[in-house]
Amino acid sequence: MWRRPDITQQGVMWYLSWDCQYSCEYCWTQGWRRSKIKSYWTLNDAQEFTNVLESLMCPPLQHSFSGGEPTAVEWFEEFAAWLLKRGNVVFVNSNMSNDVIVNLAEIGKGLMNINASYQHGFADVDDFINKVHSVNSFGSTVYVSIVLFPPLLHHLRLVKERFDKEGIGNGGILFHGLWNGGSYPNDYTLDDERVLEDTWGIRIETCTPVPTKGHPCRAGKDFITAWPGKNITGCLSSHAESIPNYMGIARPDFKLLECAYPCEVEYCPCAEIGEALRC
């Protein structure tokens, strides 16, 4: 059973790097990987900044990792193991392309939560399934997500059937972006929409985001985002440009916001976490 992030627990979303072992056509971070980042995190940086956060928040904290692929960072396994041994809860979005997640699940017993993203064309489905079962065997939770890229839609239905047969929780994520002259998710065909509803239980017309502008949000006070360049923001939005959202560089004198500020963007980009952080 997938365990959602606990909205009552303070924490941080880490984007340690945009690097990834894969090069999926539909990945939104492809452009970011070509960007010039002034400085990247080191293991020592991340540990020192964690100590700063623990002095400001109420540990144990909730550490979430995304990217890029977190396990592509050579010291990620050491850092995550360090966090787990201190009693922190660790959420990781990973493509399961190596054994790092399995190793951490054995260390973290019950403190690891994995969103395993299956990337067709790169991942071997049998190897992927074996790793998911291994992680589950150590008491960690895994949920498999699959980007519903239009040209793969019908094949991914067969992949889902395999996961279902193995008893692995899984779900589809609508593709957001441009492909073959279309803008998605608006340009899924009627045939695509039938597959989305019959196989994944997704109806395009019901996927309307909830407006968030003006709602007080605890991001920056109880939850922060740490970016590859060591910049810290309150929330994940690149459109929130006010001083409260940009909180500076990760340094020993870093401070949290004193109160919840109104959300500036029309629709929160933080998905479940962002909605949960609304006061």
How does pLDDT run along the chain (279 residues), one tens digit per residue?
A: 445 555 567 899 999 988 888 888 888 776 655 555 655 899 999 999 999 999 999 999 999 999 889 999 999 999 999 999 999 999 999 999 999 999 999 998 878 899 999 999 899 999 999 999 999 999 888 999 999 999 999 999 999 999 999 999 999 999 988 899 999 988 999 999 999 999 999 988 766 667 777 888 888 888 898 988 888 888 776 555 554 567 778 888 899 988 877 877 777 766 444 444 454
* Strand pairing report for 182-184 and 177-179: antiparallel
pLDDT the model gives residue 97? 92
Tokens representing 198 are: 């019959």
H or E element at residue 43 = helix 43-56
The pLDDT assigned to 78 comes to 96
The pTM assigned to this predicted structure is 0.88
For 115-125, letters b (16+ CB in 10 Å) and e give bbbbbeeebee
3-state SS of 249-277 is ECCCCCCCCCCCEECCCCECCCHHHHHHH
What is the pLDDT, as a whole number, of residue 5? 55
Bridge partners of residue 224, in order along the sequence: 12
Tokens linked to 143:
């949920």
pLDDT score recorded for residue 249: 83
Query: Running DSSP on this structure, what letter comes out for residue 219?
Result: B
| Alpha carbon distance 175, 172 (integer Å) | 9
